Amino acid sequence: MSETAAQETTAHTASTAHGASIELENLTKHYPGGAQPAVDGVSMEIKAGETVVFVGPSGCGKSTTLKMINRLIEPTGGRIRIGGEDVTDIDPVKLRRKVGYAIQSAGLFPHMTVAQNIALVPRMTGWPKARIRARVEELLDLVGLDPGEFRGRYPRRLSGGQQQRVGVARALAADPPVLLMDEPFGAVDPITRDHLQDELIRLQHELHKTIVFVTHDFDEAIKLGDRIAVLRERSHIAQFDTPEAILTNPADDFVSGFVGAGAALKRLNLTRVRDVEMRDYPTVTVDTPLQQIFGHLRSSGESEILLLDRRRRPYKWLRRGDLMRAKGSLARAGTLVHDTVTRDGTLRDALEAVLTDNAGRVAVTGRRGEYLGVVDMETLMNSVHELLEADRLEAMEAQHELEEARAQQTHQEQEGPGGVTKA
Amino acid sequence: MNFWEYLGSRQQQLLADAYQHASAVFQCMVLATVIGVVIGVVTYRSDWAGNLATTATSTVLTVPSLALIGLLVPVVGLGVPPTVIALTLYGLLPIVRNAIVGLRGVDPMLVDAARGIGMSRAMRLVRVELPLAWPPILTGIRVSTQMLMGIAAIAAYASGPGLGNEIFRGLASLGSKNALNQVLAGTLGIIILALLFDAAYVLIGRLTIPRGIRV
């Protein structure tokens, strides 16, 4: 099952451009009349294919920094390089067509249909009509909207979450290597936001773009970022590191204040269900004859069996007793599967589902809702222990390195200059 | 001769006048729309320029139409020229004002999005801002047209074309047996024309306002 998913992935990636690196060098924005710069000398390197999240309190300049990357706000100082090319002085219109841009509440043009909105950038860059049409279908499919149903709709007939999906599709339309997202999920309800985040993770898994994402929600940052830049006022970087490192080893009080309480629970957000071991449960489909189901259950040694529907989605849990009472028909036997988690869901989602399930297990599904495996309390506990142990080791190592570096520095200072100059 | 008999006997004359009236208003509206939208596009982005344009065009409107046409006659002569100039000037205000209001009313977030996906200045205007500002602009055009229908009647004073001639002829010969019929025919003709134009605008709105922003 995971093999077919992998094949789909390669089919998509085959036609897409991967990410490009972004280098910001001493990027500064000084508004005329302002005593202090709004953004003060930001330097960072973002690797190709990486998702970097800017997180910080409102007014810290994170959005301004983002908008300087595609020069919606012209920097007053510093350089921007994308994929090694200096774009600080090129035509901003040309630059922006190579950089996808998604914003809060999507910013779809209300007088254009979904298809017209998505087709804008390809049309501006002069793609032939047939290619544009195919691309629109492909993108709608990619963001999980049925092209036949949504192509001709106007934005006002979409829900907030659907609009946001179209917004992402529009940003991806001309297949830009870089995607800038400015609090894109800020205006949707928590449940939809959660779905959209999962979708973005899945997309990024397939596309490997370089994504710069701005949010003020630290949990969102942990969930999405490969690396997180915690910014304080004037866009000063307080810490720029992996979510694991920031959670286990915050650089200072500002960062730990921003991380907030419950770091161990937040750690669960960092691991996906696909990364932990799943249990294999015996399954049958609705078309399996009752007699065969009995056989399966007996030979598996489990007390339960998972009934899948015709599209291999989890449908019902069947216990031995349910089958005894079924009397030839499964129509009323067993308990319906209420909750499932996707492969891309976090361990926290899984824990939530396991805790609320009365039998303490939850089925894991793939992209199209098909059954992949089951996680239960035991598998979760084991993985969490392993994770925390690994984190602790890593933090200790980092600490060790830091101390060594410091010792070396003091050593050098004591020896005075003239020795090996510091790089 | 009662009113209906009068209509019957002057059918040719009345139809010709009505046609000329409609044609004058239509052509002046096209002119006023083009000029008004251009003024709006040029001025909406700056506070003072936009206000200047609105004030200037509303000043024109405060000049009584009879006086304006009277003032134009010594400069451009009688007939069509003063009519076209006066009607176009009067037609500007609602269009300029609605164009400015409409263009300024476009959600700044959408303009930001348009810039962000790499639209040039001109493309933003043509593809995003003007289509979104079009409903208020069309309303301005509608208001203008209604106004010009009435003002066009005054143009007959400067021997301009249109149904105003009927009215003025009637007013000049008050007391004679057809005077009332003439005034009545001219006035009713203008009202009917105004209603027909309004119906046409509803149709134009249906055809040109994208479904996504139709109310």
Are A96 and B128 within 8 A, CB to CB?
A: no
- The two beta strands, A210-215 and A51-55, are parallel
Which tens digits make up the pLDDT trace of B90-118?
898 899 999 999 999 999 889 989 998 88
pLDDT digits (tens, 9 = 90+) for B146-167: 999 988 888 887 777 888 888 8
Could you tell me if A156 lies within 8 Å of chain B, comparing CB atoms?
yes
Q: What is the structure's pLDDT at A327? A: 66
- Give the least confident one: A85-94, A132-141, A215-224, A392-401: A392-401
What pLDDT, on the 0 to 100 scale, is given for residue A264? 67
Structure-block tokens of residue A246: 């920031």
Model pTM score: 0.70
Of the candidate ranges A126-140, A148-162, B165-179, the one whose mean pLDDT is the lowest: B165-179
- Residue B28: predicted pLDDT: 92
Average pLDDT over residues A290-297: 80
pLDDT value at residue A261: 67
Q: State the total domains in chain B.
A: 1
Record: contact A111-B114, CB cut-off 8 A: no
Q: What is the mean pLDDT of residues B47-54?
A: 89
Q: Residues A275-380: name the CATH superfamily.
A: CBS-domain (3.10.580.10)
Backbone angles phi, psi at A236, to 5 degrees: -65, 135
Sign of torsion over alpha carbons A141, A146, A152, A158: negative
Tens digits of residue pLDDT in A249-277: 788 888 888 877 676 677 787 788 888 88
pLDDT range class, residue A405, cuts 50, 70, 90: confident
Q: Which two tokens stand for residue A418?
A: 């003239």
Of residues A70, A105, A124, nearest to B116 (C-beta): A70
How many C-beta atoms lie closer than 10 Å to residue A265's C-beta? 11
The phi and psi torsions of A420 (rounded to 5 degrees) equal -75, 125
Looking at beta carbons, which residues of chain B come within 8 Å of A93?
A: 118-120
Nearest neighbour of B112 by CB, restricted to A103, A124, A170: A103
| CB-CB neighbors (< 8 A) of A170 in chain B | 117
Computed over every residue of chain B, the mean pLDDT equals 88
Distance from CA of B121 to the nearest CA of A (A): 9
Name every chain B residue with its beta carbon within 8 A of the beta carbon of A108.
Answer: 113
User: What CATH number corresponds to the domain at position B60?
Assistant: 1.10.3720.10
Q: Can you tell me which residue has the tokens 């959660």? A: A194
Quick one: closest CA in A to B135, which residue?
A111
Domain boundaries, chain A: 22-270, 275-380
More confident residue, B26 or A402: B26
CA distance B195 to chain A (A): 29
Checking ipTM against 0.85, whether it exceeds it is: no
User: Which of A96, A104, A113 has the CB atom closest to B117's CB atom?
Assistant: A96
In this prediction, residue A335 carries a pLDDT of: 82
Please state the φ and ψ torsions of residue A108, each to the nearest 5 degrees: -75, 145
On the question of pLDDT at A43 being above 60, the answer is: yes
Decide if domain A22-270 falls under CATH 2.60.40.2550. no
Domain of B151? 3-213
Is residue A16 very low, low, confident or very high in pLDDT (cuts 50, 70, 90)? Answer: low
Q: State the pLDDT at residue A9.
A: 41
Chain A contact present for B123, CB below 8 A: yes
pLDDT for the residue numbered A11: 41
